[in-house]
Amino acid sequence: MSALCKLELSQFRNIEHSNLELAPSLNLIHGENGSGKTSLLEAVHVLATGKSFRSSLVDPLIQEGAPEAVIFAENTEHTSFGLKKPRNQKHQLKLGGTTQTNWDEVARAIPTQILDSGSFQLLEGGPKARRRFLDWGVFHVEPQFVESWRRSRKALANRNRLLKSHPLDEPQLEPWNQELVTSAEKMHAARRSYMEQLIPVFQDIHVQLVGQNLSDLTIEYKRGWDEESGLAEALKVNLAQDLKYGSTQLGPHRADIEMRIGKRKAIELLSRGQQKLLVCALKIAQGKLLSAAIGRQCIYLVDDLPAELDRENRERVLTQLLKLDSQLFVTCVDLTALDFIRLEPPKLATFHVERGIIRD
């Protein structure tokens, strides 16, 4: 199990200092808007992934006037995680006391998902949000995927640099074409395999959330280049377009997931509530598949679920999340919005947040 049992924050957002003993199942965080509830979830996400789900900027994470923010946690396997983010300096990340050069091992040790208003970009947003969703899952179940992903990024960066040069040096372009093709094929194979496993799990959970089977709802993975040809050939055929835009138009960085009802996009036909349940089903399915694949539960950060779903639907969503045996962090303004939950300590912990001060 990946549950955190201790979480200590110092000078993170509006939280001066807090030392929390966490429950392995459900942690309810309540308080007025702006009190710091979401900051607690954000700290867990930053520790687990290196990124905030609220902002791409680092400085706002550090309390105003403070030189640095510190996040420390320990899981039920007695592994420690520490992150120090100084202002205008490189971060310091440690796993079990050992300095880490990237987030790979930490992310694998505490796989973390966020369910908040931004999660619905899976339907509303562009392909980037859906690729991020897809690659999170593949990263956790296919250890070699991240190496192919990094190689493709490097190949793309160098290929795009050459495409912007005048005149084009085609002999220099060819090695990067080959590197992109090799890494892209490996990424495609891993992504396709993952989606083949995910879709039936999603369908089962979606039926349980909505109470019916939408037989004409389909989810299809698109690899980012013509399904009928190889990427090597596609790059040659599309070279004029790449030169026109100064960037590579086809490849794994253009992959997408299409969700349709019949021939129309799902977002065009589903109500707002139905859209939310579809996204929740996708996220829950990822946690269930991760647990089946690697024997480790996902941590879920659920931000203000009562504002996103009506009572009946949030009860269904939380019931499905609790079935995963995952650790949940759930924020709300008023605890009565979640009074259908029936858990007792030590399974349940409740925290009240007021002006950055957290009390249990």
Question: Binning pLDDT at 50, 70 and 90, where does residue 1 land?
Answer: low
Mean pLDDT along residues 307-314: 86
pLDDT reported for residue 211: 81
Task: Give the strand pairing for 26-30 and 348-354.
Answer: parallel
- What is the CATH number that goes with domain 1-111+296-360? 3.40.50.300
Phi, psi (degrees; rounded to nearest 5) at 247? -160, 160
Residues 235 and 181: beta-carbon distance below 8 Å: yes
pTM: predicted TM-score of the whole model, two decimal places: 0.94
Q: What is the pLDDT of residue 345?
A: 67
Is the pLDDT score of 306 beyond 70? Answer: yes
Q: C-alpha angle with apex 51: 50 to 52, nearest 5 degrees?
A: 140
Q: What is the pLDDT of residue 32?
A: 92
Rounded percentage of the chain residues whose pLDDT exceeds 70? 99
- The pLDDT value given to residue 68: 95
Residue 146 has what pLDDT? Answer: 96
Asked whether 19 and 8 are in contact (CB, 8 A), the reply is yes
Question: What pLDDT sits at residue 71?
Answer: 98
Whether residue 252 has pLDDT greater than 90: yes
> Which pLDDT tens digit goes with each residue over 153-210?
999 999 999 999 988 888 999 999 999 999 999 999 999 999 999 999 999 999 999 9
Name the band, by pLDDT with cuts 50, 70 and 90, for residue 29: very high
Q: In sequence order, which residues have a C-beta less than 8 Å from that of residue 82 and are 6 or more positions away?
A: 70, 71, 72, 73, 92, 93, 94
Lowest pLDDT segment from 68-72, 227-231, 344-348? 344-348
Q: Domain map of the chain by residue range?
A: 1-111+296-360
What's the burial of 104, exposed, middle or buried (CB within 10 Å: 0-12/13-18/19+)? Answer: middle
At 303, is the pLDDT very low, low, confident or very high (cuts 50, 70, 90)? Answer: very high
pLDDT of 343 > 80? The answer is: no
Total Cβ atoms within 10 A of residue 222:
14
Q: For residue 167, is the peptide bond before it cis, meaning its omega torsion is within 30 degrees of 0?
A: yes
